A and B are shown apart, each in its own frame.
Chain A
């Protein structure tokens, strides 16, 4: 009988909604209750420092190139011993879509995403973050990593003495 199965179907639906009336709501009352975001949540972007306290960013422009909305811009400069750094570094958070491509592109792990999502402003110009707003004092997610200790450039130590790095091959010594 079709009518019996139809009525049963309606009653089943009514029973399910009845049960849901007494279920605890899933709502989180946001300003009063806040859930802790996961550690890898992608929100406000920071520039981190290496374990020695130096700036990690070498102003290679890779983040700026990876950015799909072009919200990152910087000016490269060179310091003592040939160490590169960003003379200024700017992220326009009113354009940023928090996709995380900049953090993936960064070879020195300088640019990183943090779970701090409450960065609303009344004035849209206040969302343009300069280097002093972006730079933090910690290492962020990878506390051990120091680009210059690995790389084959003699900036923080002579060439060939970095981690997992051999001395440069003496090409004349290879002669037969």
Chain B
């Protein structure tokens, strides 16, 4: 049991947790700033980004695709802002215009180009392939102390860990200015804080988290983790630091429980195959949000 678990289940669970945390952390601020749907928009435009990254470099290695995705995310944010300002369109509609167009372009590019040689398709983009991130060199719990085996950990695990550290550092270092500009923009301005730059930096950090998580686990988890854990945490408390703590707990519970139910649930019920872990993680995060919305102590507090 231990052997199989460490090789087949531990890496995906860890990657799922790291991805969930990296998205949930900035998600707290996006939620309070009423920009919750930025994560949704970013995860749609990542598709044309990775396809372009693939077409330009001709390789399916990770970095060009992630770079393409990151560029696409920034381009999308700039486009949304442009459409909103130039066209004097309300933000929601501007977002809808940009992300649907870019996503459609991504699908068309994908269909037009010969990507059959690599594993690149819309379904993969949507729900990732968490189950395939296995650690074949592990022979049991002892492998965790074995440098030879550790070298063959799935690269997504290291990458996601690095991104989580970047996201966490960004939020820890800029905690006060971020908090002040989120709750009272006018006051933040009067303190001389660079409010617009902070907002843009937050969106870029979210994009980095989204792109890295997307590569590992697909876009459903990204959207769900940006919104559900922070939203559930919002029903638990009025204090930002406590909210961030709750959101991290909810993110980890969703990732672990979701993976375990998806992987082992069907077996317990007597079926042979697992169901989508990404989908199940999103589902669990939704159930947590539902419970918080029904019974959370602060569910009726001031609107955020």
A in complex with B: no
Interface residues of A (CB under 8 A from B): none
Interface residues of B (CB under 8 A from A): none
